[in-house]
Structure 1
Amino acid sequence: MLEILPETHNNLLAVRVSKALSIADFDQYRNLLRDLMGKYKEAHLYYEMVDLDLGEVNAVAAIENGMFDVVHGLDYGRVAMVGEKKWQEWAANLISPVKKKGVRYFDLSEKKEAMAWVQEK
């Protein structure tokens, strides 16, 4: 499930993902990012993962999302990934090289710090 957080404004997209992610969730996420990238020099992203079940993530949509990241990597500003599992930290490290400013991983207990960091000017 994709939830758009109220901190989303200007060039910041703040989302929480949980449980399962469908093709529609990935499409909505990419469309929101694409819109921000079209309006601003770079888009910042706060990506929080809570109770995310990797087995319930649509594999085709996840691959499409990975390709989107590769193509648009230079359009990202700060990216904060917030999670609770080791595989999420590994995923953040894996995608970091394709983002212009990389990805910084935070534990779920550090979500306030992550939000402050991603909003820094």
Structure 2
Amino acid sequence: MLEVLPETQDNLLAVRVSGELTNEDFDLYRELIWDRMKQYGAARLYYEMVNLSWVKPGAALENALFDLVHGRAYDRVAMVGEKIWQKWAANLISPVKKKGVRYFDLHERERAMRWVQTGEE
């Protein structure tokens, strides 16, 4: 499930994902981030993962291709999670993002939001 958080504004997309991510969730995410990229030239992303149990492989592959093509249009990206594989995923995709990806543990969510909003911790 993809939930758009109230901090979403201007070129910042803030989302929380949980449970099972579907093709529809990824379609909505790509639409929302792409709209910001087109409007502002670059988009900041706060991506929080809570109780994430499954990501459909086809949807994840489509999303990875989107990131490869549009990675330079990302500004600050904060990934917040609770599992070691989420940290590994953040490190794996970091090189394709213009400013990389910073990973924060779930208990650091406020720090992550502050960093993605202002660039300061």
Instruction: Measure the CA separation in 2 of the matches of 1:6 and 1:87.
Output: 27
**Aligned partner letter, 2:6:** P
Instruction: Measure the CA separation in 1 of the matches of 2:118 and 2:66.
Output: 25
Within 5 Å, give how 1:1-121 maps onto structure 2: 1-53=1-53, 56-120=54-118
**Aligned partner letter, 1:11:** N
Instruction: Measure the CA separation in 2 of the matches of 1:117 and 1:57.
Output: 27
The gaps in structure 2 that reach 5 residues or longer are: none
Instruction: Measure the CA separation in 2 of the matches of 1:32 and 1:46.
Output: 13
TM-superposed deviation, 1:41: 2.0
**Aligned partner letter, 2:23:** I
- Cα shift readout 1:55-90 (whole Å, capped 9, x = no counterpart): x21110100000000000000000000000000000
Instruction: Measure the CA separation in 1 of the matches of 2:61 and 2:50.
Output: 21
Instruction: Measure the CA separation in 1 of the matches of 2:8 and 2:84.
Output: 26
Instruction: Measure the CA separation in 2 of the matches of 1:34 and 1:11.
Output: 10
Number of residue equivalences: 119
Alignment RMSD, CA only?
A: 0.7
With the length of structure 2 as denominator, give the TM-score of the two structures. Answer: 0.97
Q: Matched residue of 2:98: which SS?
A: coil
After superposing on structure 2, the runs of 4+ consecutive aligned residues of structure 1 that deviate more than 6 Å are none
The gaps in structure 1 that reach 5 residues or longer are: none
